[in-house]
Structure 1
Amino acid sequence: MAWKTPVTAVALTVSGALLLSGCTATAGWWSETFGGDGPPEVTEEFPYVREGRIFQDTGQDNEMTFSITGLERTDEYTVMYYEVTYSDEFSGPNRNLSMAHTLVDPMTGRVYRQFLDEDGLKYGSESPGGDGLYPVHDEVTNEYVRYYPRLPDEVEQVTFIGSGLGAMTGIPVQDVDEERADPEDPNGADHLTLDNPPPRGENLTFANRRPDEDAVADEGWVQSFVDSQIASTTRDGDREIISLHSDVMFAFDSSDLTPEAEEVVRRAATTLTANVDPEDPTITVIGHTDGIGSASYNDALSVDRAETVRDLLAEEIGSGYTLEVEGRGMNEPVAREGGPDDEQARARNRRVEFSYVYNTSSEASEEEAYDEDALGVAQRNVTWPAPYSDDPGSVVASGELDGVRLDVYPLRRDGAYVLGTFALTNTGDEPTIPELGGTDAILAGGPEQFNKGTLGGFQLLEPENGLVRYVAQMDFGEGRYSSFAEEVHLLQPGNTYDLVAVFPAPAADVERLTLRAGPFGEFEEIPVEY
């Protein structure tokens, strides 16, 4: 029997709201920054098609054609219609290893996943055997339907990621009064074995199951991380945390400020006045320590340091804000201590944070958002959504390591993010899994949370200011995270695989970045395109 799961996917929904670091993005700004009169119009040109090779759990990594034939918003759901065609022969049960179906709004960072039942099976096109597997025949197209939560009305187009074929930007969302009719005579269950294909030219279709009262769909936020020598910013929806590195702020084992501390807090105050939501002007100052010493001692030290920073911030930021203090001691490390980079890890864990709700109002001034005296790590950079293209561009950098070649394509702006597209080719004679990132390849003292996933070790560096942008992740609450980079699995000899990783975007005038590609090293002057 030949079975196949439908292709999984991740999408970035694109909102019609146009934001640029909290300010309204105008056609004039667009023209000055990118040329032209503004973003391209959203056109409905279905289907949107990609072709390439994807990972299978059996190693039968076949060529696939993936086509989005509709993305429709009803009063209840967002319904995605897509088709999958495989050109090579399969044998036995196969599952593809792409990312889970997810929709993400890159303007707000909101993420949505498909409706599932209590057994984890997807609503929409039903598996004939009830086990999540689907029959596949060479050169036969399978038609699928999937259900997501209803996207907000202002979302006009999406970026689709996770088919295993890179990113598909600019997919329009169509508003309809009612969803399409179910297949009249679903035939998937009639052609389960390789020796029983459908008649030539006939697609496989499946019975449709709409979400019921037991259906659940995860929703969450894209979480991003930007780092510098003095501070870092974690962004999760409308919540931001600016972290000041304690070794810049305090002498060792002390709550006394260093000579640099006043300047750092002054820059933080400039950032906070621009970023904090005036409707919720509460800033929580949180102290953290490393794991050396007793818990009680570290709890007290973390409070003392937070109070010292709070007092200095109060002098700089002025009235109109509520400043609260917490000390969390050694309880919330961001880097793993006790390893070969123990010193750097402990330094990363010693920090003072500002936690607050971000001002999403479009009335914030461009001058505030781009104040050169503010902390660069906390600058929000949002441009127009990217139009659809099936061309990743020309390879701009390459490297080879242990029989695996890495090809790097231009980075592409899409809302608040840049999409990194990479190709891996097994140039050897045996299957291999390259060591590209993850917890085993974390840079000294790096935050473990943002190094998960095979491409999680990739980073983007701005050489001029030292800002480092990590691969984003998706936060679904209750401690459930998913790296916003595709996993790398067993590479078959001679095969090439396209992968994508999503990073927080740099400022609009940044045209080139350095790619830190784990064990492949650094690649300079990678262009950032729209």
Structure 2
Amino acid sequence: MTTRTPAAAAALALSLLLSSCSLPDGPTGGDPTSAPTPGASEGQRQPLPFVRQGRMSIEGGNDVTFELTVTGLEHDGEYLMLEVTHNYLEDLPGSVTGRNPPVRLVDPVSGEVLRFLRDPRSGDEPYGTHFVPGDPAMPTHEGLPTTLRRYFPAPTQDADFLTLTGAGTGLIPGIPVTRVDAFTPAPEPNAHAYIDPETFTQEPELPDEIWYPDNPPPPGLDTADRRHTMESLVDGPTASTTRAGDQETIALHADEMFASGASEPTAEAAETIRASAQTLRANVGPRVEEITIVGHTDGTGSDADNRTLSQERAEAARALLEEELDGAFTLTTQGRGSAEPLAAEGGPDDEQARARNRRVEFTYQVAPDAAEPADAQGLASARRHVAEPAHFFDELEPVTTLIHDDVDLHVYPMVRDGAYVFQMVGFQNSTLSPLEADLDVDESAVPGSPAQYAEGTLGGFRVQEPGTGLVRYVIRIRTGPDEYEDFADRINELATGEQYLALAVFPAPAPDVTEMTLYAGAFGQVDVPVR
């Protein structure tokens, strides 16, 4: 019989992969120079199963190759059930490190992010496949595929295809959702007949397939805390647009609207307001009557003067907007002075930070299907571009490799998926010893950019469209009231010679944009094609 130690290490590996998830490590699936899956370019979608290979980071600087097969994604009207098969292709020499990105199912059209459901009765372990109730450890077996199930809340909006991220294999888009009256029953579990649940010792001969007990969620769970929304920021020369769920805020740069210290709009303001009005007609949701206009100042001057000036600027913007909208909406104004800065003042980019904070904002509820025509005269930063969900594909060859401090950054083509683009990169240690990647973004950050979009491991990455000057920042996921996480993977210690894949997600550009410039922090910049 096998000993508990390797079985326990393997158990922890399998558990963490679909609990906190695993960091990708190495090219994922097949020949890295292979072409996209046949049919993806022909409009036909490849049916399940979807198979990818990845690398799992193990303590002590070791890594193992594993294969992930997505076999099903069912929707019973209340929940989703994701079924995958794991096959470890190498011996597991230790436990998985716990510093890995979480598993997410993403609706790339609506921007909703789904996390798996947890059972508070079992120590907050995920609903689904388990070995011992309430215990995160599960056996796994090198060379013997093991099937796992995990349950998620159903998406709020009807979705035919979802994208899986964080499973150690980069990006798996285009997973078809199958509607069922009831989930397909799992086969009768046989794991306890071959593996002792107390000692984890295994019989020397195992069957061709091992099935573990399944713990599906009961009906009627409150799943609101397992559904999250994406927040995006698109920054343009005269205005920036932030969108989170059904709330959108357009921020007009006050320096383009008002002379210093003045509340009278400049000549350029009329053109900007006309563009804003056209955007509002296209983006504001049905039956929404009110748009809030908020004025802001920088931190110079007294609080009282700043509140007065910000209110006067909001009123001036309302007067211009009313002329364009012809009474279509109720416009309310507020002046908040310097109380809500976007960028931190007083640093080396103080001038740019203060300019960022001097702004007038329009906030409103946006229509779910808001889509301004590409040839419209509205604000370019407020156009939301939605394509169909991406097809499943085999990985492509990196388009280039950037080098910084003994770390190679392999840059893959961006993938357009619904309303977003997914940028995959691979970090590779070129030395003979493990090291931490230097991802300092200070030198590459846009002066005065909002800190919440310019910090974090890959949060400092951004993309820029050619010709328009529009800058798209890494998506943030709103996980709770005033709680966010970057939709960008963190990179920890790099084992020698291995490649660690990471994703960063951005709002999508216009359909005719086939290339964007990636600013990759300390690694520099490179033009990347959009597939």
Query: Match for residue 366 of structure 2?
Result: 358
1:494 positional shift: 0.4
**In structure 2, how many angstroms separate the alpha carbons of the residues matched to 1:329 and 1:204?**
64
- From 82, 96, 106, the counterpart of 1:80: 82
Matched, 1:177 2:181: yes
- Residue identity opposite 1:48 in structure 2: F
Say if 2:61 and 2:495, in contact at 8 Å, map to a contact too: yes
Superposition pairs of residues 319-338 of structure 1, within 5 angstroms: 319-338=327-346
Q: 1:466 to 1:110 in 2, by over 3 A?
A: same
C-alpha contact 1:9 1:99 (8 A) present in aligned 2: no
Aligned to 1:128: 132
* 1:208 correspondence with 2:181: no
1:93 Cα deviation after fit: 3.6
Q: CA deviation at 1:124?
A: 1.1
Are the structure 2 counterparts of residues 230 and 397 from structure 1 closer, same or farther at C-alpha, using a change threshold of 3 Å?
A: same
CA distance in 1, matches of 2:40, 2:132: 50
Q: Contact 2:84/2:147 (CA < 8 Å) preserved in 1?
A: yes
> Is the CA contact 1:10–1:163 (under 8 Å) kept in the aligned structure 2?
no
For the aligned residue pairs, the C-alpha RMSD in angstroms reads: 2.9
Q: Which of 494, 497, 509 is the matching residue for 1:494?
A: 497
Per the alignment, in what secondary structure is the counterpart of residue 160 of structure 2?
strand
Cα distance change on mapping 1:195 and 1:88 into 2, 3 Å: farther
Aligned with residue 287 of structure 1, among 283, 292, 295: 295
Distance 2:19 2:165 in 1: 5
Which residue of 2 is the match for residue 48 of structure 1? 50
Which of 111, 114, 118 is 1:112 aligned to? 114
* Residue among 77, 98, 101 paired with 1:99: 101
Contact 1:226/1:470 (8 A) holds in 2: yes
Stretches (4+) displaced over 6 A: 36-39, 191-195, 438-441
Deviations 1:53-73 (A, max 9, x none): 133465433222111111111
Q: Give the drift of 1:439.
A: 8.1
Please identify, of 252-261 and 506-515, the stretch whose mean Cα deviation from structure 2 is larger: 252-261
Cα distance in structure 2, aligned partners of 1:477 and 1:298: 31
- What TM-score, normalized to structure 2? 0.86
Q: Is 100-109 or 66-75 further displaced after alignment? A: 100-109
User: 2 CA distance for matches of 1:141 and 1:8?
Assistant: 15
Change (3 A) 1:55 1:453: farther
- Partner residue of 2:450 out of 444, 447, 450: 447
Q: Partners of 1:400 and 1:509 in 2: how far apart?
A: 30
1:266 partner SS: helix
Tell me which of 292, 306, 312 is aligned to 2:314: 306
Q: State the one-letter code of the partner of 1:416.
A: A
Match status 1:505 vs 2:508:
yes
Residue 268 of structure 1: CA displacement?
Answer: 1.4
Residue from 218, 231, 234 that aligns with 1:226: 234
Distance in 1 separating the partners of 2:432 and 2:180: 51
**1:449-464 superposed matches below 5 A:** 449-464=452-467
CA contact (8 A) 1:10 1:160 kept: no
Q: What CA distance in whole angstroms lies between the structure 1 residues aligned with 2:57 and 2:250?
A: 38
Q: Distance in 1 between matches of 2:204 and 2:327?
A: 73
Q: Secondary structure at the match of 1:55?
A: strand
1:145 aligns with 2:149: yes
* In 1, Cα distance between equivalents of 2:264 and 2:507: 34
Shift of 1:247: 1.8
Between the aligned partners of 1:232 and 1:399, the Cα distance in structure 2 is 30
Cα distance change on mapping 1:204 and 1:6 into 2, 3 Å: farther
Is 1:485 the counterpart of 2:488? The answer is yes
In the TM superposition, residue 195 of structure 1 has moved relative to its aligned partner by 6.5
Measured against aligned partners, the alpha-carbon deviations of 1:179-229 in whole angstroms (never above 9, x if no partner) come to: 132442342763787874763554444322222467644212111111112
Distance in 2 of aligned mates of 1:253 and 1:120: 55
Q: Counterparts of 2:466 and 2:118 in 1: how far apart (Å)? A: 44
Return the match for 1:411 from 411, 414, 421.
414
1:166 corresponds to: 170
Q: CA-to-partner distance for each residue in 1:246-286, whole Å, 9 max, x for gaps?
A: 22222233323233222222221222222222421321111
Query: Is this contact kept in 2: 1:461–1:467, CA < 8 A?
Result: yes
Mean alpha-carbon deviation: is it higher for 265-274 or for 334-343? 334-343
Inter-CA distance 330–79: structure 2 relative to 1 (3 Å threshold): same
Q: Percent identity?
A: 39
Instruction: State the Cα distance separating 1:333 from its structure 2 match.
Output: 2.2
Deviations 1:84-117 (A, max 9, x none): 2223333454345442232222211122221123
1:78 touches 1:149 (CA, 8 Å); kept in 2? yes
Unaligned segments of structure 2, at least 5 residues: 22-38
Of 336-345 and 372-381, the range deviating more from structure 2:
336-345
How many residue pairs get aligned? The number is: 498
Aligned residue among 5, 17, 27 for 1:7? 17
- The one-letter amino acid paired with 2:130 is E
Q: CA–CA distance in 2 between the matches of 1:281 and 1:431?
A: 58
Residues 146 and 309 of structure 1, relative CA distance in 2, 3 Å threshold: same
User: In 2, distance between residues paired with 1:491 and 1:197?
Assistant: 36
Structure 2 CA distance for partners of 1:357 and 1:415, relative to 1, 3 Å: same
**Deviations for 1:381-414, whole angstroms, at most 9, x for unmatched residues?**
11121111122x2221211110111111111211
**1:32-81 CA-partner distances (Å, limit 9, x unpaired):** xxxx99983455x3321111213346543322211111111113311111
Pick from 340, 347, 351 the counterpart of residue 339 of structure 1: 347
1:397 pairs with 2:407: no
Q: 2:471 aligns with which of 468, 473, 490?
A: 468
Q: Is the Cα–Cα contact under 8 Å of residues 8 and 99 in structure 1 kept in the other structure? A: no
Letter in 1 for 2:248: E
Is contact 1:228–1:466 with CA below 8 Å preserved after alignment?
yes
Runs of 5+ consecutive residues of structure 1 not aligned to the other structure? 12-35
Amino acid at match of 1:7: L
CA distance in 2, matches of 1:501, 1:261: 35
Measure, in 1, the Cα distance between the counterparts of 2:248 and 2:101.
Answer: 26
Say whether the 8 Å CA contact 2:188–2:211 is kept in structure 1: no
Measured after TM superposition, the shift of residue 380 of structure 1 is 1.2
